Chain A
Amino acid sequence: MASASIPVYNSSNNPLENSSSHNASRESLKMELLADCSLLPGEERIIDKDIIYICPFSGALKGKVFITNYRLYFKSADADPAVTLDVPLGAIGRVEKMGGASSRGENSYGLDITCKDMRNLRFALKQEGHSRRDIFDILFKYAFPLSHGLLLFAYLSQEKFEENGWSVYKPMEEFRRQGLPNDKWRVTFINANYELCDTYPTILVVPFKATEEDLRKVCTFRSRGRIPVLSWIHRENQAVICRCSQPLVGMSGKRNKDDERYLDLIREANGTAKLTIYDARPSVNAVANKATGGGYEGDDAYQNAELVFLDIHNIHVMRESLKKLKDIVYPNVEESHWLSSLESTHWLEHIKLVISGAIQVADKISGGNSVVVHCSDGWDRTAQLTSLAMLMLDSHYRTLRGFQVLLEKEWISFGHKFANRIGHGDKNHADQDRSPIFVQFIDCVWQMTKQFPTAFEFNERLLVTILDHLFSCRFGTFLFNCESARDTNELRSKTVSLWSLVNSDLSFYQNPFYTPESNRVLYPVASMRHLELWVTYYIRWNPRIRQQQQSPVEQRYIELLALRDEYLKKLEELQLSDSSPNSSHLSNSSTPNATSPTQHITHLHTPF
């Protein structure tokens, strides 16, 4: 990162930052062969070059850039403390040449790099002798390996971890945890070869009464064959969250008896009087979709269902919104009328809509009514809504491992198109399929952790790490669009999971304030009054936004915990010596008191 301040998440196991933690003295930096010490197993150096980094905060800095098949690394000894940049090539969205051989002005000839993680980088080179040609070519090739017939770094990495993150999510285990299958819901393997739906996982849970034949029929009436299947079931009231894509109603308003009956089976399963269908889209969009063969569940066709539109906009709107947000926070935070500028990006408004949609889903379920959630294809807004609702309803998903399961299940296995939305290794930066839907979801999670600081076992660091590796291509976790593509590309055998990294150092991602409370439904407040910009993510490159290693509250808490343990130990020692037979003053006042703190230990240790 391009700042003189201490990095936010500075730990030896955070690959994006670890090199900058080598804050050795300036002298030793010059001696040291810079990037060598920090290469990942499988990472190879391609080129290094003297270059000028035009830092928006500290001005032009001379230094050296190293490019490997995984990262761009820059270090300058010009500034004190040294400025380093450590950017995974996967985070690069666009590389452009800036200025020409005849450009005037200082530092006007060089490279302009747009990153996917809310920053831009500018480098200047000497104007003589096409000095940027090699570095531009190399950067372009290795930042976009798929466009050049190369493998993503995840396939080259030789990293080894104690834990195997691929075993975090086992669908059958997760369904069993939810109490499935049962007499109303069954597991089907109809999609074992991705024949029913190529973007769904192999294991699906469907109404017990629906036959395989029914499923095939329903499949024809749902966009891309994404039929309604169970995502989550409420243990007590048996209300379920089902997800799917839009029905193929079309201009003529087609009906499909099988689909209608199938939705009624979902309703019947727990005796819900009226099934609620949440269409994530604004109603106008749902109507417009009829023109392309899609649509929504009409009143007369689905008599026992009520349809609610949640007014969440599509991927294009979200993309533009985040782009605007970047404009007002990078490199400098908009000064005049900050709040109006923030409002004009609509980013938080979109967050509000997504969260309030999820609240409605969770509220319905708590009231014992089953719901079906869909948008157009059921892999963007639908995933946001179901996973957020599940986070509100099920405390298991608020644990460190539970959250991984949630992502693996609702996002990865159900085919959120990570490859298209992020554009891993692809040079086409203007691709209209790209959109920060998953970033938006993580932002929603962050908003929830902010409102309920004791309800989540994981901390902000985990969320930032997830977003860093959403782009980095170091792990296989977020690669490809769906399970069938992952199988074809042997992802799980050839790459490492992000959860291997995380679960090998769980304590780093743990929230000390976590207080487990099962069965508690969390309803965040979806009011602009409580939503805030996630400054420590979106504005983290700005050194002026004070980046504290730990929040002062967290720091104080940990200090006090240590102090308590120290005192307890001391007290124990004292009591031991007191109660020894030759001790002359066995104070009887201390004995009853001594029990209370020891009792405390057990229950207070739980956060750790």
Chain B
Amino acid sequence: MLSSLGSAGGKSAKPSFVSYVTPEEIKSEKEPSRKEKHPDLLPGEVVFCSASTVLKYTQDDLSQRGVFGALLCTNFRVSFVSDEAPTEETGQLFKNKLYGENDIPLSCVDNIYGGYEDKKKLITGGLVKNKYPSKMIIHCKDLRVFQFSLSFSKEEDAKKIFQGIVHHCLEPKSLRCLFAFSYCENTSYPEVQRKKQTVMFDSVEDWIQDMKRTKGNCRVVSENSNFELSPKLPQFFIVPSNVSDEDLTKYQGKGLPMWCWSHHSGCALFKTASIPLVQEDNVPQTYMEKMLTAVAHNHLYSVKTEDLSDTLPAVQDILLSYNKFKQFFLIDNTTEFWMSDMKWFSSLDNCGWLDIIRQCLQKAVEVVECLEKENTNVLIMEEGGSDLCCVVSSLVQLMLDPYYRTLLGFQSLVQKEWVAGGHAFLDRSNHLHLKDKAESQSPVFLLFLECVWQLQQQHGPAFQFSETYLTVLSDSVHVPVFTTFLFNNDSHRDNILRAESPHTQRSPLNCPTVWDWSVQFDCKAQDLFTNPLYSEKPKQDTSVRKSYRPKHLRQLSLPSSAFKTPPKKGFFKDEADNLKKILGVKRLSRWMLSPSSESPQTSSSVREFYEAWQTKPLDYHGLLLPCLDGPSIRVWMQRYLRWIHDVQILGGGPVAMLSKVSEILGEVQELQRQLDRHGCTLTSNHKGARPRAKTASVIAARSSVRLSSSFPFVTSRNWLFKPAIPTSLLQSLMVTGMAGNLADREDDGGGPESLV
């Protein structure tokens, strides 16, 4: 081991970069303390391989400087342990307990590139026998970028670590290899008291309660609790009351309308997996008709259907678009960054990601319009019924039901629509790198979070959770510890967890869900999940606080007289008569492909709906609609720009304002406590202003700690007090053609008067 350093030093007699310390220095420095460097390993974590004297480039630094340290690959993560004494960052309040800033959970690795001299090559598994690049670049799914130089390590070590990382990050593996299982076997993870917790929708009571809350009157099905009916169906679900027992299993759950949410008028939203239509076989059609009648029966015999496969992009298109989009943020060097800055808006436009977000939101608004304005039942469907159906149904509920805008409400919504709803998290994230599943990979859940972020940006005070919460949630999908994101559906989860249980008894393996936030963050950090702008709905009767959940909003937010109902075409066809026609038609032309023919009608109706809503005073505890105009759909800055040094606004960004709000909020809460101690009953005559004492989210944002726009993800340590000066400005301005001659002209007519 000792000699490895010597040989490494010899090999790189001429380092092509300036580093803080030369390899020779390291040798002399480190020799006394020869010991395998390890990160603090988690329970059940095992080191596979490691290499020392790896150089980690300090990101965004063209001078190619870096820090030396050991690079390890464990069954959980790729970890870099710096040789430099860890500088205890005092202000770091947002530390993830599972992995640090130099750790990459294996499932979080997106792509690995090899740097050979000046070329960069994408590494796909397999090809790496006996060779290794001098530089390894890792792009992460949470958008971090790591660059390591292997040219100072012992050849053997370098080869091993490179191959190890490639193997464990990119090669197919079995579900049982995911870290969650060895982690859970080795932690006595305490059963959390589920009081005042997220509703998991894993019991029949949860479903009954939710239906009661929304005053729905459908049929709760509990016959599948052991998956006797079908492994493809959720353990518990709700269907229209007219659905008979034999209907339940007819097409393995396909075509079966699953209740999502009931509107106070009585109409409800249902979703279903569409039945592939087999030619000349009328049976599925008859079944579909029966199901639609059952849905219609739910309220006023009206139903509208919407096949999302026809009108929203396919999951593969979503992936393609996102893959283009994310490239704008995976920055290897600053020159590249500033070059791409020039064409930023059009690149953004061309990748189509924001447009997909807009389409999902628009679809949700259309559904909301049906429920809210026309009071018809809505059945949304798609192949599989658990991707865009989940996106749209969750968005609809967020817009209509303020309960889901609370933190616990939101988590319950994700449980209901996504986890219990059978979204194939495992296949969509392809944690296992299975070649045959490559097709099904798609960031559908992220797309949903993006839409939620848009709503939250536009109507901040309506949401109890913060932007940071959403960002962290999107990161957690790639931390293979939480059962929430590891399975494809209920029966899959149940099977695996039972099989993996260490005890032979019946109790399944006890793993944390992502909602057990204390696994990742301490209480202080979790304070950042609440939105200081949120104020609870003022209660008429403060003395009787029955349940935590606010009552389902009763009043109509829109008097129906406000609308002249325009005859609508194209979308949401009235079912009763032309049902057959619709089902007979194979696929309507896609929304995406023919915006001109389809969109004007619907988008103008949506616009009218939005405008009518907009003229009413805004009630944050009532119906919320997003503005869908171009300037209103934006990039989720915190998530995408947080690691890019050059765009950090030092001492600025929205957090500068929010921290002041938090500060005052903390003071108000402190005063409240003091007044309470005095036995003073506060008559909250400030409408809705009285904050809940529990949401004390006091960011330690005193003037001593300067925040940046990347707060809380990047700490002040990384600050340089030099401004980022954009490079390559000149090429940018393509003032060609028409402007060409203008650009050459004098500012003020003729030449200078004082011509000598």
Binding site for B on A (CB under 8 A): 4-5, 220, 223-225, 245-246, 248, 250, 254, 282, 284-285, 288-289, 292-294, 311, 313-317, 320, 333-344, 346, 348-350, 352-353, 356, 359-360, 362-363, 375-377, 380, 417, 420, 432-433, 451-455, 513, 515, 517, 520, 522-530, 532-533, 535, 539, 543-546, 552-553, 555-557, 559-564, 566-568, 570-571, 574, 578, 587, 589-590, 593-594, 596-597, 600, 604
A245 partner residues in chain B, CB cutoff 8 A: 752
Closest Cβ neighbor of A282 among chain B residues:
B730
Contact (A527, B647) CB under 8 Å given A285-B743, A453-B652? yes
- B670 within 8 Å of A (CB atoms): yes
Would you call B689 and A513 a contact (CB within 8 A)?
no
Would you call B629 and A528 a contact (CB within 8 A)?
no
B724 partner residues in chain A, CB cutoff 8 A: 523, 525-527
Contact with A along B432-469 (1 / 0, CB 8 A): 00000000000000000000000000111100000000
* Residues B645-697 near A (CB distance < 8 A): 646-654, 656-658, 660-661, 664-665, 667-668, 670-672, 674-675, 677-678, 680, 682, 686, 689-691
Would you call B341 and A529 a contact (CB within 8 A)?
yes
Would you call A545 and B725 a contact (CB within 8 A)?
no
* Residues B634-652 near A (CB distance < 8 A): 635, 637, 641, 644, 646-652
A552 partner residues in chain B, CB cutoff 8 A: 459-461, 533
Once the chains are docked, how many angstroms separate the CA of A284 from the CA of B744? 8
Would you call A590 and B674 a contact (CB within 8 A)?
yes
Would you call A363 and B725 a contact (CB within 8 A)?
yes
Would you call A342 and B752 a contact (CB within 8 A)?
no
Would you call B349 and A338 a contact (CB within 8 A)?
yes
Q: How far does the Cβ of A280 sit from chain B's closest Cβ, in whole Å?
A: 11
Would you call B675 and A567 a contact (CB within 8 A)?
yes
Would you call B733 and A353 a contact (CB within 8 A)?
yes
Would you call B461 and A556 a contact (CB within 8 A)?
yes
A224's contact among B611, B738, B754, by CB below 8 Å, is which? B754
Once the chains are docked, how many angstroms separate the CA of A555 from the CA of B686? 13
A432 partner residues in chain B, CB cutoff 8 A: 749
- B607 within 8 Å of A (CB atoms): yes
A455 partner residues in chain B, CB cutoff 8 A: 651-652
A317 partner residues in chain B, CB cutoff 8 A: 735, 739, 742-743
- B565 within 8 Å of A (CB atoms): no
B749 partner residues in chain A, CB cutoff 8 A: 432-433
B629 partner residues in chain A, CB cutoff 8 A: 333, 338, 544-545
Binding site for A on B (CB under 8 A): 338, 341-346, 348-350, 354, 458-461, 532-533, 535, 595, 603, 607, 610-611, 614-615, 627, 629-632, 635, 637, 641, 644, 646-654, 656-658, 660-661, 664-665, 667-668, 670-672, 674-675, 677-678, 680, 682, 686, 689-691, 703, 709, 722-726, 729-730, 732-733, 735, 738-739, 742-756
B635 partner residues in chain A, CB cutoff 8 A: 529
Closest Cβ neighbor of A223 among chain B residues:
B752
A525 partner residues in chain B, CB cutoff 8 A: 646-649, 709, 724
Q: How far does the Cβ of B105 sit from chain A's closest Cβ, in whole Å?
A: 27
Q: How far does the Cβ of B534 sit from chain A's closest Cβ, in whole Å?
A: 9
Would you call B755 and A359 a contact (CB within 8 A)?
no
Closest Cβ neighbor of A288 among chain B residues:
B744
Would you call A535 and B664 a contact (CB within 8 A)?
no
The 3 closest A-B pairs by CB, nearest first: A338-B630, A292-B751, A523-B723
B346's contact among A333, A340, A376, A452, by CB below 8 Å, is which? A340
Contact (A553, B671) CB under 8 Å given A320-B739, A320-B742? no
Closest Cβ neighbor of B685 among chain A residues:
A566
A589 partner residues in chain B, CB cutoff 8 A: 677
A246 partner residues in chain B, CB cutoff 8 A: 752
Q: How far does the Cβ of B305 sit from chain A's closest Cβ, in whole Å?
A: 27
B686 partner residues in chain A, CB cutoff 8 A: 559, 562-563, 566
Closest Cβ neighbor of B641 among chain A residues:
A529
Would you call A454 and B657 a contact (CB within 8 A)?
yes
Would you call B675 and A336 a contact (CB within 8 A)?
no
Would you call A353 and B649 a contact (CB within 8 A)?
no
Contact (A311, B677) CB under 8 Å given A334-B630, A343-B346? no
Once the chains are docked, how many angstroms separate the CA of A517 from the CA of B706? 12
Task: Give the one of A380, A560, A604 with max B CB within 10 A.
Answer: A560
Would you call A285 and B744 a contact (CB within 8 A)?
yes
Would you call A343 and B726 a contact (CB within 8 A)?
no
B709 partner residues in chain A, CB cutoff 8 A: 451, 525, 530
Q: How far does the Cβ of B726 sit from chain A's closest Cβ, in whole Å?
A: 5
A285 partner residues in chain B, CB cutoff 8 A: 743-744
Once the chains are docked, how many angstroms separate the CA of A336 from the CA of B667? 47
Would you call B631 and A533 a contact (CB within 8 A)?
yes
Would you call A452 and B535 a contact (CB within 8 A)?
no
Would you call B742 and A556 a contact (CB within 8 A)?
no
Would you call B660 and A557 a contact (CB within 8 A)?
yes
B674's contact among A225, A362, A593, by CB below 8 Å, is which? A593
Would you call A315 and B747 a contact (CB within 8 A)?
yes
Task: Tally inter-chain residue pairs, CB-CB below 8 A.
Answer: 284
Once the chains are docked, how many angstroms separate the CA of A314 from the CA of B529? 47
Contact (A570, B680) CB under 8 Å given A452-B649, A545-B627, A556-B535? yes
Once the chains are docked, how many angstroms separate the CA of A315 from the CA of B458? 35
Contact (A339, B348) CB under 8 Å given A525-B649, A529-B647? yes
Q: List 16 A-B contacts (CB under 8 A).
A: A314-B745, A316-B743, A340-B350, A362-B723, A420-B748, A451-B653, A525-B648, A529-B635, A543-B614, A545-B627, A560-B668, A571-B678, A574-B680, A587-B678, A589-B677, A597-B674
A313's contact among B603, B611, B733, by CB below 8 Å, is which? B733
Contact (A451, B627) CB under 8 Å given A292-B746, A293-B751, A314-B745? no
Would you call A292 and B738 a contact (CB within 8 A)?
no
Would you call A563 and B725 a contact (CB within 8 A)?
no
Once the chains are docked, how many angstroms separate the CA of A561 from the CA of B691? 12
Would you call A557 and B664 a contact (CB within 8 A)?
yes
A333 partner residues in chain B, CB cutoff 8 A: 629-631
Once the chains are docked, how many angstroms separate the CA of A223 from the CA of B754? 6
Once the chains are docked, how many angstroms separate the CA of A383 from the CA of B635? 33
Would you call A248 and B754 a contact (CB within 8 A)?
yes
Closest Cβ neighbor of A431 among chain B residues:
B749
Would you call B744 and A530 a contact (CB within 8 A)?
no
Would you call B743 and A530 a contact (CB within 8 A)?
no
Closest Cβ neighbor of B741 among chain A residues:
A316
Q: How far does the Cβ of A553 sit from chain B's closest Cβ, in whole Å?
A: 5
Once the chains are docked, how many angstroms separate the CA of A70 from the CA of B591? 50
Contact (A314, B747) CB under 8 Å given A353-B733, A563-B686? yes
Would you call B649 and A553 a contact (CB within 8 A)?
no
A533 partner residues in chain B, CB cutoff 8 A: 631
A590 partner residues in chain B, CB cutoff 8 A: 674, 677-678
Q: A293-B752, A338-B629, A545-B631 are in contact. List 19 more A-B contacts (CB 8 A).
A: A5-B614, A223-B752, A333-B630, A335-B603, A359-B725, A362-B723, A363-B722, A363-B725, A377-B748, A420-B748, A527-B338, A529-B344, A532-B631, A544-B611, A546-B458, A546-B627, A552-B461, A564-B667, A568-B671
Once the chains are docked, how many angstroms separate the CA of A282 from the CA of B64? 31
Once the chains are docked, how many angstroms separate the CA of A315 from the CA of B661? 42
Q: How far does the Cβ of A541 sit from chain B's closest Cβ, in whole Å?
A: 14
Would you call B649 and A570 a contact (CB within 8 A)?
no
Would you call B733 and A356 a contact (CB within 8 A)?
no
B725's contact among A5, A293, A360, by CB below 8 Å, is which? A360
Closest Cβ neighbor of A220 among chain B residues:
B756
Closest Cβ neighbor of B329 among chain A residues:
A529
B637 partner residues in chain A, CB cutoff 8 A: 529-530
Task: Give the one of B644, B661, B686, B722 with max A CB within 10 A.
Answer: B661
Once the chains are docked, how many angstroms separate the CA of A561 from the CA of B650? 26
Q: How far does the Cβ of B328 sit from chain A's closest Cβ, in whole Å?
A: 9
Q: How far does the Cβ of A607 sit from chain B's closest Cβ, in whole Å?
A: 9
B630's contact among A339, A452, A594, A596, by CB below 8 Å, is which? A339
B750 partner residues in chain A, CB cutoff 8 A: 292
B644 partner residues in chain A, CB cutoff 8 A: 529
Closest Cβ neighbor of B684 among chain A residues:
A563
Closest Cβ neighbor of B596 among chain A residues:
A336
